[in-house]
A and B are shown apart, each in its own frame.
Chain A
Amino acid sequence: MDVMDAIRTRRSIRRYKAGEIPDDDIIKILDAARWAPSGGNRQPLTYVYVKDPQVLRMVKNCSPGFYGDAYSAIVIGAQGRLGYIELLDAGFAAENILLAAHSLGIGSCAIASFNRDAIKKILNAPEDWEPILLISLGYPDGTPRPPPRKPLSEVVYINSFGNRWERLGG
């Protein structure tokens, strides 16, 4: 799948159908995360892949933003103090995960609403490791309609803030 197609057609999936995701596909997805940009190439992120149904169930129970019967989830986290770089890196890695999953026909949804302390305890994570973002994974049960997006002319300026770019119309 072409990158621009993947970007345009990816949707946040909150309804999944049953189906096992091959480990090989998950490894490709995690490798895409590994290749995401990292500030100063510090690579502070670590990932916990959760596929055990018992553990996944508890992760879901402690994540109010987790919808749907996902097959598995990836927890993105980092050790030590979470600063701007760690959060940006997590965003870069998350987008790679979402796009890589979509290119393989796997649905996903980024989840920021979860109980950090509970997730740490469920995953037996060290005290100084902080989960930043969860991503649910599974085969989509339908394709959500594209959500409305603001037109480019409303969000892009040229050369100085507030200066409209005529090429964009609007």
Chain B
Amino acid sequence: MAEELEERFFDILLRTINYAIEFSEERSYASLRFMDLFSSLLDLQPIILRETRRDEFYGRLREKLKSREVMESGEERSRFQREILEMFIDEWRRSLPKGP
């Protein structure tokens, strides 16, 4: 159960950052709104998922998000979102069982 919640939380966060990236080219605020949602979900982690093997990863993500507020250009925001996405893929790869 706990492990399922842990995996589902990881998946939902990752999907949310992908939605933000999907809308990054649009002139609307959709991408920013998804980033807000991403940030809010991440803030929930210590409350709903206290014991997780990804605690350190989520901590690094929260630190990373602190630099979000000073961004002005869309290009900068887009690069920032891609960096977050890469953090997820690296974390996923790190947690894969090692092959023979």
A residues near B (Cβ < 8 Å) are: 54, 57-58, 61-64, 113, 115, 117-118, 121-122
Contacts and interface: CB of A to CB of B under 8 A. Distances in A.
Interface residues of B, number: 13
A54 B22 CA distance: 22
A113 B89 contact: no
Main secondary structure of the interface of B (DSSP, over half): helix
B82 A117 contact: yes
Given A57-B11, A58-B92, A62-B14, A121 B19 contact: no
A107 to B, nearest CB: 22
Interface of B: 11, 14-15, 18-19, 21-22, 82, 85-86, 89, 92, 96
A58 B14 CA distance: 9
A113 B22 contact: yes
Contact of A64 (B22, B82, B86, B96): B22
B89 A58 contact: yes
Contacts of B89: 58, 118, 121-122
Contact of A115 (B11, B18, B96): B18
Given A57-B11, A64-B15, 13 more contacts: A58-B14, A61-B11, A61-B14, A61-B15, A62-B85, A63-B18, A64-B19, A113-B22, A115-B22, A115-B85, A118-B89, A121-B89, A122-B89
